[in-house]
């Protein structure tokens, strides 16, 4: 059986309080005699006492657990994010409970409510489009949270995102500098604001170079069945614009599937078409060493997210209402210049 403070107290004929103080390292501060302290410590070690953190959380009102809500832990990007967050959180003695929303707003809402019920101290959320309602509640309740990867500009929340428009602009401009003139944009999940920003960057790059935005070079892939749908999209583009000479992928998995397509169909991805992608996967370096890539600053995102949360938690009492939200737009990491 696992034993409690009370058991120790009883066994040593002291009070729970004494044991609690000593084990909390406040023995000296509370002027508990050295002999008692030793006795308690020795006994606790002997029976391998482990405090019940549930009880402590209930008492203290803080669980030292953070909740992580992401589309899917199986996605390489979010898995890496999770890792960084975990590492940073550990520095502050927080552990992580994660839940995959599957990009389903219903699920996301349920998850957020559940995590709140489990009394996680704060949330890190990569939101899907329609989670607005639940976020409104969080804001109203002053529940600490920070959005990552996606955000809602009209909401006063902490968020950390990539400079999507600027990154897109850099990538497409780079392709143009290589002499590419008919650059296709392959995108998906266009209900997401960040995806619109990426498209905006693409358009700005084209128009700054005096190139037309050709509708036939715009490919939108259905997220839910992207492996097959991208074939349709690419087939379409090659059919309508046979001399397409560049592809800009708005996100990693689109590039991945396109590469599969290019390999299968023998498309020469160094001479015939130039490639660019926002986001990366570890295999791109081999599969398409010439592809221009903007990487998300994963480490930064994770670290900042945790730090923002922790600092809000530490100042929870004094400045609850005065907290000004951090809105971070991080610069891209590029594999080119």
Partner DNA sequence: CTGAAAGCGCTAACAC
Partner DNA sequence: GTGTTAGCGCTTTCAG
Q: Point out which residues bind its own copies (CB under 8 A).
A: 2, 48, 50-55, 57-58, 63, 65, 72-76, 79-80, 82-83, 86-87, 95-100, 113-119, 137, 141, 256, 259-260, 263, 281-283, 285-287
Total site size for DNA, rule CB under 7 A: 27
CB of 213 to its own copies, least distance (A): 31
Name 24's Cβ contacts closer than 8 Å, sequence gap at least 6: none
Which partner from the list its own copies, DNA, none does 14 bind, CB cut-off 5 to 8 Å by kind? Answer: DNA
Site for DNA in 35-64 (CB under 7 A): 35-36, 51-52, 55-56, 58-60
Question: Of 13 and 282, which has the nearer Cβ to DNA?
Answer: 13
Question: Of 52 and 72, which has the nearer Cβ to DNA?
Answer: 52
Asked whether the beta carbons of 96 and 111 are under 8 A apart, the reply is no
Instruction: Tell me: does residue 65 bind DNA (CB under 7 A).
Output: no
Instruction: Tell me: does residue 319 bind DNA (CB under 7 A).
Output: no
Rounded-to-integer distance, Cα 49 and Cα 69, Å: 33
With CA atoms as reference, report the closest residue to 140 among 164, 107, 116, 163. 116
Q: Where are the alpha helices (DSSP H) in 120-267?
A: 132-141, 164-177, 193-208, 226-240, 252-265
Q: What torsion do the CA atoms of 232, 235, 236, 238 make, to the nearest 10 degrees?
A: 160
Which partner from the list its own copies, DNA, none does 114 bind, CB cut-off 5 to 8 Å by kind? Answer: its own copies
Helix (H) or strand (E) holding 329: strand 327-330
Which partner from the list DNA, its own copies, none does 16 bind, CB cut-off 5 to 8 Å by kind? Answer: DNA
- Take residue 74 and report the two structure tokens written for it: 């199986």
How, if at all, do strands 292-295 and 333-334 pair?
antiparallel
Please give the residue ranges that form the binding site for DNA (CB under 7 A). 2, 4-6, 13-18, 20-21, 23-24, 30-33, 35-36, 51-52, 55-56, 58-60
């Amino acid at each position: 059986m696992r034993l409690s403070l009370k058991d120790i107290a009883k066994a040593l004929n002291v009070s729970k309080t004494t044991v609690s103080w000593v084990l909390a390292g406040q023995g000296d501060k509370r002027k508990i005699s050295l002999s008692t302290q030793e006795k308690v410590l020795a006994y606790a070690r002997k029976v391998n006492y482990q405090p019940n953190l549930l009880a402590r959380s209930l008492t203290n009102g803080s669980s030292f657990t953070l909740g992580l809500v992401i589309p899917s832990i199986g996605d390489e990007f979010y898995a890496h994010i999770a890792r960084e967050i975990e590492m940073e959180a550990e520095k502050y003695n927080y552990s992580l409970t994660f839940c995959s929303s599957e990009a389903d707003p219903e699920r996301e809402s349920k998850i957020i409510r559940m995590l709140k019920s489990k009394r996680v101290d704060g949330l890190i959320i990569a939101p899907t489009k329609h989670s607005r309602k639940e976020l409104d509640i969080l804001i109203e309740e002053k529940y600490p949270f920070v959005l990552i990867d996606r955000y809602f500009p009209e909401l006063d929340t902490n968020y950390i995102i990539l400079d999507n428009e600027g990154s897109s602009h850099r990538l497409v401009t780079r392709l143009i500098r290589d002499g590419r003139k008919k650059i296709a944009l392959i995108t998906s999940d266009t209900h997401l604001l960040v995806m619109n920003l990426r498209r905006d960057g693409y358009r700005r790059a084209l128009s700054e170079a005096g190139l037309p935005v050709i509708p036939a070079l715009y490919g939108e892939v259905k997220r839910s069945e992207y492996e097959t749908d991208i074939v349709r999209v690419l087939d379409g583009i090659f059919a309508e614009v046979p001399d397409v000479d560049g592809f800009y992928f708005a996100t990693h998995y689109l590039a991945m599937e396109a590469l599969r397509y290019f390999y299968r169909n023998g498309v020469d991805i160094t001479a015939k078409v130039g490639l660019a992608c926002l986001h990366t996967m570890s295999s791109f370096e081999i599969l398409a060493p010439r592809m221009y890539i903007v990487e998300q600053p994963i480490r930064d995102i994770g670290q900042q997210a945790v730090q923002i949360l922790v600092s809000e938690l530490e100042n929870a009492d004094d400045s609850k209402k005065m907290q000004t939200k951090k809105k971070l737009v991080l610069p891209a990491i590029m594999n080119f210049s």
